[in-house]
Structure 1
Amino acid sequence: MEKIQLSLLFKIIGIGSASGLLFQNNTILAIGDNSSYLYEYQTETSKLQRHPLAENPQENTPKAFKPDFEAITQYADSIYIFGSGSTENRNFMVQVDSKTKEVIKTQDLTDLYLTMQSFAKIAPEDFNIEGVIYNGETWFFFNRGNGKTAKNVVFTVEGKNLVNEFQIISNEYKLPKIKGVRTSFTDAILVDDKIYFLASAENSNSTYDDGEVLGSIIGRIDVKKMKIDFTQKISDTHKFEGITLYKKSSNEIEFLLCEDNDTEVLEADIYQLKLKTK
């Protein structure tokens, strides 16, 4: 897993601080951590649509009030979008119809997030959900260990719902460093029985305040063992915060990555990452 190729594939005007994305049928669905919209971008026509996720949606919400949507995942006919849980107003999940892009429901996940913090002994100020995977039976939540205690944790959650009937298992990971700074989870995707994850190094020990970006890695976790198969640095300068499957063949897998530019500029760069699997 040594041969990689990273290149800029799309530049989307109208999306800022991209934090998660999905790809299907020549369409990119993206969220931004400053925004309360779901963005739909047609790669063949460059057409961009905005779908509100809340009443009175904004594209550059003031930091203290933003829902901080950091994770997006899809199963069957539903898209699920999650707040990071890093402050009290960031605890919401929005379920969206994948066909109409209309909001089905919004749920407060405060109890789930508090249980995760207690279960893994993560202080509230170090809690920061940046990626979520759902396979129809099990949820995987990725806590970004960019707080003082650097707890990179994957929560495996099962149950009838995420509000009051769930069971949790947690696995903590010590990820590689870049320039002396520990990398931390920023997103993940399930491909077959493997989890491919992104992690970035940022010179800050706060889940709230941004720091100097030192680079990003990609890695893979075996779902059955929940052990890391490999990690590899993919950039010295980018903070990649979203990953989705683009193409897959017998000897290569391709992802689309999005980058959080930590500014109010409404412009998103979407990168293509190729990995040789044989």
Structure 2
Amino acid sequence: MEKFQLTLLFKIIGLGSASGLIYQDNTIFAIGDNSSYLYEYHIDSNKLERHALAENSEENIPKSIKPDFEAITKYQDSLYLFGSGSTVNRTIMVQVDAKSKNVIKSQDLSDLYLAMQSFGKIAEEDFNLEGAIFNGETWFLFNRGNGKTNKNIVFSIDGKNLANEFRIVANEYKLPKIKGIRTSFTDAILVDDKIYFLATAENTDSTYNDGEVLGSIVGRIDVKKMKIDFTKKITDTQKFEGITLFKKSEKEIEFLLCEDNDTEVLESNIYKLVISK
């Protein structure tokens, strides 16, 4: 799996600081880490819709009070959006009906996040979720190791209710460096029995403050063994924060990626990444 192609596919005007996306039936569901909307982009018509996730939803919310939705996953007819947990006001998970786009429920996951910090031996200031997967039985939540301790951890969580009934397994990974800076998880998706993940090198030891972007990698984890199969650098300059399956064949697998531009400009570039099997 050494050959890859990365190309700019299109730009979404009206969505800023994209942090996650889901592709389905020529439509993209996306989130931005400074917004309290779910975005629905229709590729054929180039139409963007916004769906409020709370009362008085806003865009470009100030950093100190934003919900910081950094992870999105889909299972059956529901979308699940997770706050990063990097501050005390970023602990909400929102479940949305993928057909009606109505909010089914919002949950405060403070207890779960505290348990994950304890179980993974992560300091509060180093906790920063940036990827989520749900397969109907197990949740996989990805801690981005861009804090001082570089704790890149995949939490496997089984439970009927993430708010108060759960069992946790933690697997920690030492990801490759780019220009001397350790890469850290920014998103992931499950395809068959493999997890494909993105990780970015950012010159900062803070989960709160941004730093110089030094590049991004793609990698794969075998779910059965929870071991990394491969990693590959795909850019020296870009910070990719979202990955979703686009197409797959016997020879290739195609993903859509979104780029976080870390600005208040309401536009997001969507790239296509093609990897040879």
For residues 157 and 136 of structure 2, the distance between their equivalents in structure 1, rounded to whole angstroms, comes to 11
In structure 2, the partner of 1:129 is 129
TM-score with structure 2 setting the length: 1.00
In structure 2, the partner of 1:52 is 52
TM-superposed deviation, 1:146: 0.1
In structure 2, the partner of 1:156 is 156
In structure 2, the partner of 1:64 is 64
In structure 1, the partner of 2:141 is 141
Q: SS of the counterpart of 1:118? A: helix
In structure 2, the partner of 1:180 is 180
Q: SS of the counterpart of 1:58? A: coil
For residues 10 and 99 of structure 1, the distance between their equivalents in structure 2, rounded to whole angstroms, comes to 24
Q: Which amino acid aligns with 1:49?
A: E
In structure 2, the partner of 1:214 is 214
- CA offsets 1:154-213 (integer angstroms, 9 cap, x no match): 000001110111000000000000000000000000000000000000000000000000
TM-score with structure 1 setting the length: 0.99
In structure 2, the partner of 1:114 is 114
TM-superposed deviation, 1:140: 0.2
Q: Which amino acid aligns with 1:274?
A: V
Q: Does 1:194 align with 2:178?
A: no
Q: Does 1:76 align with 2:76?
A: yes
Identity %: 76
For residues 196 and 54 of structure 1, the distance between their equivalents in structure 2, rounded to whole angstroms, comes to 31
TM-superposed deviation, 1:54: 1.0
Q: SS of the counterpart of 2:206? A: coil
Q: SS of the counterpart of 1:88? A: coil
TM-superposed deviation, 1:259: 0.6
- CA offsets 1:215-236 (integer angstroms, 9 cap, x no match): 0000000000000000000000
TM-superposed deviation, 1:10: 1.2
For residues 82 and 52 of structure 1, the distance between their equivalents in structure 2, rounded to whole angstroms, comes to 15
Q: SS of the counterpart of 2:117? A: helix
- CA offsets 1:2-24 (integer angstroms, 9 cap, x no match): 11000000101000000000000
- The ranges of structure 1 where at least 4 consecutive aligned residues each deviate by more than 4 angstroms after the TM superposition are none
Alignment of 1:263-274 (within 5 A): 263-274=263-274
Q: Which amino acid aligns with 1:86?
A: S
Q: SS of the counterpart of 2:112? A: helix
In structure 2, the partner of 1:261 is 261
Q: SS of the counterpart of 2:161? A: coil
Q: SS of the counterpart of 2:165? A: coil
Query: What are the ranges of 5 or more consecutive residues in structure 1 without an aligned counterpart?
Result: none
For residues 78 and 13 of structure 1, the distance between their equivalents in structure 2, rounded to whole angstroms, comes to 25
In structure 2, the partner of 1:22 is 22
Query: What are the ranges of 5 or more consecutive residues in structure 2 without an aligned counterpart?
Result: none
Figure out how many residues of one structure are paired with residues of the other and give that number.
Answer: 277
For residues 77 and 2 of structure 2, the distance between their equivalents in structure 1, rounded to whole angstroms, comes to 36
Q: SS of the counterpart of 1:250? A: coil
Q: SS of the counterpart of 1:112? A: helix
Q: Which amino acid aligns with 1:13?
A: I
For residues 161 and 45 of structure 1, the distance between their equivalents in structure 2, rounded to whole angstroms, comes to 38
Q: Which amino acid aligns with 1:122?
A: I
Q: CA RMSD in A?
A: 0.3
In structure 2, the partner of 1:99 is 99
